[in-house]
Amino acid sequence: MKTTTLKLVTIIAEDDIEARLVRDLKELGVKGYTIVNVRGEGLHGARDNAWEGENIRLETLVSSELADKLFEFLHSTYFPRYLMVVYMENVEVIRAEKFL
């Protein structure tokens, strides 16, 4: 069966920016995503409790080009102001045309 390689982009962020983040991702071309609440700690180690407690983990499947665009956008627009972890990886997807 034919599969397509896409980028799975994961964003871990504070839950109070969820609405803004989703709106921005959609404007950049994201068509689907899932969100789950997570707990955790640690962006700033012992010096900062901001990440203790409820955060969100958002995942979206996008083309390699859109993944790069998201990375540039998040790095320039969100990273100066918000605590956030962003990473991507390759995954093999069934019926990938839905996400492109």
CB of 20 to a second copy, least distance (A): 16
The yes or no reply on residue 77 touching a second copy (CB under 8 A) is no
In sequence order, the β-bridge partners of residue 89 are: 8
Q: Using alpha carbons, select from 59, 61, 71, 58 the residue that is nearest to residue 100.
A: 61
The number of C-alpha atoms within 13 Å of 52 and in the hemisphere containing its C-beta is: 5
Q: Is 86 in the site for a second copy (CB under 8 A)?
A: yes
45 in contact with a second copy (CB under 8 A): yes
Binding of a second copy by 43 (CB under 8 A): yes
Residue 63 neighbours by CB under 8 Å, 6+ apart: 6, 7, 99, 100
The residues of the shown chain that bind a second copy, judged by CB under 8 A, are 1, 3, 6, 8, 10, 12, 30-43, 45, 51, 55, 57, 61, 68, 71-72, 74-75, 79, 85-95, 98
